[in-house]
Amino acid sequence: DIQMTQSPSSVSASVGDRVTIACRASQDIDNWLAWYQQKSGKAPKLLIYAASRLEGGAPSRFSGSGSGTDFTLTITSLQPEDFATYYCQQASSFPRTFGQGTKVEIK
């Protein structure tokens, strides 16, 4: 199974800050990576797919980059509605696996 490791596990930031979350795959997954946002008590929501493609309806302040084993989710100018937990997910092989999550908290 491909293991996905996110860092950090949590980050405290202020509105307007730039936030970067890393995700590392245990083997090469090319660009078969997605990012999801999950707010408390809600279902996850797809933000980024194929490593860098913005899902329709997702704000342009979210961007993704990377290929192979190392990926990054960047939120430029953090907004109040962005405080949530973020997960990466690989789609290179079965079983599909998620990172452990990164909680973005208010500083």
Chosen residue from 19, 23, 25, 36 binding other proteins by CB under 8 A = 36
Q: Determine if 86 is a binding residue for other proteins (CB under 8 A).
A: no
Region from 15-23, 35-43, 60-68, 74-82 binding other proteins, contact rule CB under 8 A: 35-43
Q: How far apart are CA 37 and CA 47, in angstroms?
A: 7
Which run of H or E residues covers position 67?
strand 62-67
Region from 11-19, 59-67, 68-76, 89-97 binding other proteins, contact rule CB under 8 A: 89-97
- Distances in Å between the Cα of 39 and the Cα atoms of 19, 28, 30, 95 are 17, 29, 28, 25
DSSP for residue 52: T
- Using CB under 8 A, count the residues that bind other proteins: 24
Region from 11-19, 20-28, 69-77, 85-93 binding other proteins, contact rule CB under 8 A: 85-93
CB atoms within 10 A of CB 72: 16
Residues of this chain, 9-28, that bind other proteins according to CB under 8 A:
none
